[in-house]
């Protein structure tokens, strides 16, 4: 069990905002949580500046990612493609008592790779209809591009329907267990950062034993 935790505030007005506006609200009004732990420095020591803010409305979880990094890559455009190769942010979560956990992975132009699973090899990929319910808006737009060198600052806001991850807005658990990641496997500065620490020898984000609590207000 990790010692880190956070509160997920209830902000009902987020439901009535565009996703761009929701991201601006989260950036201005919510606590920023650092995605900064380099768990495997011998494999990938680079540490860009990355953080996130999180809240819930009546129907969705909203996660706003903020990144400043060297190199920017957005090659993958198809749902379920390997977006971790690109400039990528990720939100993994598990509902207490549910044997499955959920992985939501997004490159900087909002391409989604998402599944639910009990263990890493047992992936149940989200359907096109399920992926279409996940909102995405980012400052990098939606057009793919090869790697761009230099320093880049970007944000991505996503909304994940509570019902998609088997949460009932009228009967929420006290918390979810989760971790948040920043990676970019095929850029000139690859990295593997997490919000909560992961104490395993080899790089692996699929470690629900190393998720930490996020408490609902």
Q: Is residue 158 part of a domain?
A: yes
* Buried-state track 101-127, b at ≥16 Cβ within 10 A, e below 16: bbbbbbbbbbbbbbbbbeeeeebeebe
Domain count, the chain: 1
Q: Is residue 207 part of a domain?
A: yes
Domain that holds residue 80: 6-216
Q: Is residue 98 part of a domain?
A: yes
Q: Is residue 89 part of a domain?
A: yes
Q: Is residue 27 part of a domain?
A: yes
Q: Is residue 1 part of a domain?
A: no
pLDDT the model gives residue 215: 98
Task: Please give the chain's pLDDT, 217 residues, in tens.
Answer: 578 999 999 999 999 999 999 999 999 999 999 999 999 999 999 999 999 999 999 999 999 999 999 999 999 999 999 999 999 999 999 999 999 999 999 999 999 999 999 999 999 999 999 999 999 999 999 999 999 999 999 999 999 999 999 999 999 999 999 999 999 999 999 999 999 999 999 999 999 999 999 999 9
Q: Name the pTM for this structure.
A: 0.97
CATH of the domain at 140: 2.60.40.1190
Q: Is residue 167 part of a domain?
A: yes
Q: Is residue 102 part of a domain?
A: yes
pLDDT the model gives residue 3: 85
């Amino acid at each position: 069990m990790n010692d880190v935790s956070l509160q997920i505030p209830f902000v009902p007005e987020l439901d009535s905002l565009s996703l761009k506006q929701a991201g601006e609200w989260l950036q201005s009004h919510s606590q920023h949580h650092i995605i900064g732990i380099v768990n495997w420095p011998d494999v990938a020591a680079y540490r860009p500046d990355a953080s996130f803010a999180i809240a819930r409305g009546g129907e969705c979880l909203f996660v706003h990612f903020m990144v400043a990094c060297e190199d920017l890559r957005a090659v993958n455009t198809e749902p379920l493609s390997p977006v971790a190769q690109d400039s990528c942010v990720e939100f993994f979560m598990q509902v207490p008592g549910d044997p499955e956990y959920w992985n939501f992975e997004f490159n900087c132009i909002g391409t989604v790779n998402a599944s639910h699973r009990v263990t890493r090899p047992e992936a149940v990929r989200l359907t096109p209809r399920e992926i279409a319910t996940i909102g995405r808006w980012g400052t990098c737009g939606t057009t793919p591009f090869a790697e761009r060198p230099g320093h880049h600052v970007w944000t991505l806001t996503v909304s994940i329907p509570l019902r998609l991850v088997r949460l009932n807005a009228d009967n929420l658990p006290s918390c979810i267990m989760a971790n948040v990641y920043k990676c970019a496997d095929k850029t000139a500065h690859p990295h593997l950062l997490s919000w909560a620490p992961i104490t395993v020898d080899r790089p692996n984000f699929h470690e629900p034993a190393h998720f930490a609590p996020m408490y609902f207000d």
